[in-house]
């Protein structure tokens, strides 16, 4: 094997790790070169959404299930941290852990019966749960602040070091997002990930090969919910304010759209989908005015022409073009 082949082999073998490293370096220097507070706040939101979309992609893209209720678990993380820290005086870091644990318990209570359903029946069940949580957030004024929202949520800190600026929060949020991305990459390449891929391909075939499909679905559902809870807690402590409008059913639809646009079963597609659909409304006014309609149109177009999503579809297309180019040269 010559040097060129060795280099190509090394790059292919470690492509995920090298991509994470390159992204980490880019995110480290980006705010130093372009530290606009508004842009940093937007990129922090992208990092938070990436964590939610990654968990949802594991559930939809790898386990082959569907959820239209992940905004509810995002809300439980945000409001749980807000209530524990503001009303009960719990330190933010233990509050995040306690809320994630409690949300996982809720996921088990919801998931064990709901995951007996399939297809649109499961989607409707999760959608119904989202509506219930949204209604509770609006109606329970004494605890959640009702339609006016919940303010005064403290910033995260380590001792005397407080994450009280967009720059500091940038490094915190994206550290959490990159850790979650690496965990996702390792998961999908493990035996558990291969079992989930078999489940997404054909549940009956996966069961015949010895995969405990029911337990696998519950596990990946709980994992995706814990990631949504973590993202919700980060959202609350990053922005210091939460309101029910952020966690309605359209938020759940947006998360699913991010998964589909980025690519079903693509960990990196989760980042791309979250970034694309968060940036567009901010820089193109028509997206802000007709966001829900345009998101629906994007979803339909991607499903029609690139059913695996933009990232996965474009990668597959480039591989086909590259194979044809090599064939012509040979």
217 exposed, middle or buried (CB, 10 Å; 0-12, 13-18, 19+)?
A: buried
Q: How many other C-beta atoms lie within 10 A of the C-beta of residue 248? A: 19
CA-nearest of 59, 102, 56 to 79 is: 102
pLDDT at res. 145: 86
Of 76-80, 129-133, 294-298, minimum mean pLDDT range:
294-298
Confidence of residue 306 (pLDDT cuts 50, 70, 90): low
| 147, part of any domain | yes
pLDDT greater than 60 at residue 16: yes
6 falls in which pLDDT band (50, 70, 90)? Answer: low
**Looking at the domain assignment, is residue 13 inside a domain?**
no
| pLDDT computed for residue 324 by the predictor | 78
Phi/psi for 151 (5° steps) reads: -115, 175
Count up the domains in the chain and report the number. Answer: 1
Report the pLDDT value the prediction gives residue 232, as an integer from 0 to 100: 95
**Cβ atoms of 246 and 145 closer than 8 Å:** no
Residue 26 has a pLDDT of 85
Residue 30 inside a domain? The answer is yes
- Sequence-distant (6+) residues with CB within 8 A of 314 are 306
pLDDT in tens, 89-110: 889 999 999 999 999 999 999 8
Query: Does 285 fall in a domain?
Result: yes
For residue 8, being part of any structural domain is answered with no
Q: What is the mean pLDDT of residues 293-320?
A: 70
Q: Which of 7-11, 20-24, 62-66, 273-277 has the lowest mean pLDDT?
A: 7-11
Q: Does residue 55 lie in a domain region?
A: yes
Q: Which of 30-34, 182-186, 235-239 has the highest mean pLDDT?
A: 235-239
Judge whether 189 lies within some domain: yes
Q: Which residues pair with 157 in a beta bridge?
A: 162
Q: What is the largest CA-CA distance in the chain?
A: 73
- Give the pLDDT of residue 289: 63
Q: Where do runs of H (alpha helix) occur along the chain?
A: 3-13, 15-33, 37-57, 70-82, 92-114, 119-139, 141-144, 166-188, 191-201, 203-208, 213-239, 249-262, 267-283, 285-289, 291-305, 310-329
pLDDT at 107: 92
Percent of the chain with pLDDT over 70: 85
pLDDT of residue 8: 60
Residue 25 — φ and ψ, nearest 5°? -65, -40
pTM of the model: 0.87
Mean pLDDT, rounded, of the chain: 83
In a domain, 6, yes or no: no
Cα separations in angstroms, 83 against 41, 73, 158, 330: 23, 15, 20, 66
* CATH for 96: 1.10.3470
pLDDT at 134: 93
Query: The domain containing residue 116 runs over which residues?
Result: 21-329
pLDDT of residue 48: 95
Q: CB of 295 within 8 A of CB of 255?
A: no
Confidence (pLDDT) at 121: 81
């Amino acid at each position: 094997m010559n040097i060129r082949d060795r280099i190509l082999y090394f790059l292919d073998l470690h492509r995920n790790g090298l991509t994470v490293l390159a992204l980490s370096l880019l995110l480290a220097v980006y705010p130093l070169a372009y530290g606009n507070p508004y842009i940093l706040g937007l990129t922090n939101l992208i990092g938070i959404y990436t964590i939610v979309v990654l968990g949802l992609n594991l559930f939809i893209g790898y386990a082959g299930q569907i959820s239209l209720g992940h905004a509810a678990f995002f809300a439980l993380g945000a409001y749980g941290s807000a209530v524990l820290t503001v009303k009960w005086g719990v330190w933010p870091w233990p509050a995040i852990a306690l809320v994630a644990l409690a949300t996982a318990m809720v996921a088990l209570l919801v998931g064990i019966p709901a995951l007996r359903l399939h297809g649109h029946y499961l989607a409707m069940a999760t959608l119904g749960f989202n509506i219930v949580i949204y209604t509770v957030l609006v109606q329970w004024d004494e605890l959640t602040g009702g339609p006016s929202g919940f303010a005064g949520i403290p910033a995260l800190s380590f001792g005397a070091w407080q994450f009280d600026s967009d720059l500091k929060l940038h490094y915190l949020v994206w550290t959490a997002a990159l850790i979650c991305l690496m965990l996702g990459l390792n998961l999908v390449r493990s035996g558990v990930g291969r079992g989930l891929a078999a489940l997404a391909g054909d549940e009956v075939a996966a069961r015949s090969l010895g995969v405990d499909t029911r337990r696998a679905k519950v596990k990946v559902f709980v994992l995706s919910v814990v990631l949504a809870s973590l993202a919700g807690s980060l959202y609350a402590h990053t922005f210091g304010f939460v309101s029910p409008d952020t966690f309605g059913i359209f938020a759940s639809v947006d998360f699913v759209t991010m998964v589909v646009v980025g690519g079903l079963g693509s960990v990196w597609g989760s980042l791309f989908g979250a970034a694309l659909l968060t940036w567009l409304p901010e820089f193109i006014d028509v997206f802000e005015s007709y966001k829900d309609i345009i998101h629906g149109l994007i979803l339909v177009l991607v499903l029609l022409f690139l059913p695996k999503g933009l990232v996965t579809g474009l990668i597959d297309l480039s591989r086909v073009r590259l194979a044809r180019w090599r064939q012509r040269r040979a």
